[in-house]
Amino acid sequence: MDKKDGEIDYSKCSLSELREIEAHIDAQSNPKNYANLQRAITNRPRPEQPTTEAKSKYASFWQRLGAYLLDFLILLPLIAFHVWGGEQSRLFGAYYFIPGVVFGFWFHAYLVKRYGGTPGKLIVGIKISKLEGGPVGYREAVLRYSVLFVLATISQVVLLQTTLGMSDTEYFALDWQERMLRIQELAPSWLGWITLLTNIWVWGEFVVMMTNKKRRAIHDFIAGTVVVRAAAGE
């Protein structure tokens, strides 16, 4: 050291320079300089570290898949009720059609607008927001649900018409699995294309979700939304 102990001014040194000096200074022979050096290191502002906040704020693929499976489990009793109703009456599908449409919009649109997500999403701690930030409105919520709603409704209407064309004798002579196969046999051949499109849509959602950093599905691109991790307390 050219200067005496306690005479070195560290105020103009960068943090990296201070670290370099720290590696070579003898604390025992220069206790005052060493103490001053430590104070300078402690007080020197740290450069901002690159963070993954922008990336990590988005829901992961596994969170979205988990939310999807949770929603399925939550809806299982309703699915079981629909199967039970079909065993009681050939006309059950006609009675259930309008309530089913209303429930679908309540579950997939109203809850999304009101709470930011379906129950499955809220359970795993994620929510839907507009791409530029802020809560979604009915426009975004309905657009997210629109394609699946159209495909499902077309299938339901065709299957309902086919069921109504059967006699009670033929309908109740079959168990529910045989009945579904028979209804599909009697349905128009183009219903197979609707079923194929529905499968492509569902699987395409997951494929697209896996191929972009924000984990947006196709319906997110349609509606201008993104799924993010919910802040604590939300």
Q: Could you report the per-residue pLDDT of 147-196, keeping only the tens digit for each?
A: 999 999 999 999 999 999 999 999 999 998 899 999 999 999 999 999 99
Question: Does residue 43 register a pLDDT over 90?
Answer: no
* Domain shared by 95 and 202, yes or no: yes
CB 125 within 8 A of CB 231: no
pLDDT tens digits for range 148-159: 999 999 999 999
* 58 is a domain residue: yes
pLDDT tens digits for range 47-87: 555 444 444 599 999 999 999 999 999 999 999 999 999 99
* 5 is a domain residue: no
Q: Which structural domain range is residue 34 located in? A: 10-49
* Domain shared by 65 and 89, yes or no: yes
* 183 is a domain residue: yes
pLDDT band of 34, cuts 50, 70, 90: confident
* 116 is a domain residue: yes
Question: Does the global pTM surpass 0.85?
Answer: no
* 152 is a domain residue: yes
* Domain shared by 177 and 142, yes or no: yes
* Domain shared by 65 and 176, yes or no: yes
Looking at the 3D structure of the chain, how many domains does it have? 2
* Domain shared by 79 and 116, yes or no: yes
* Domain shared by 166 and 114, yes or no: yes
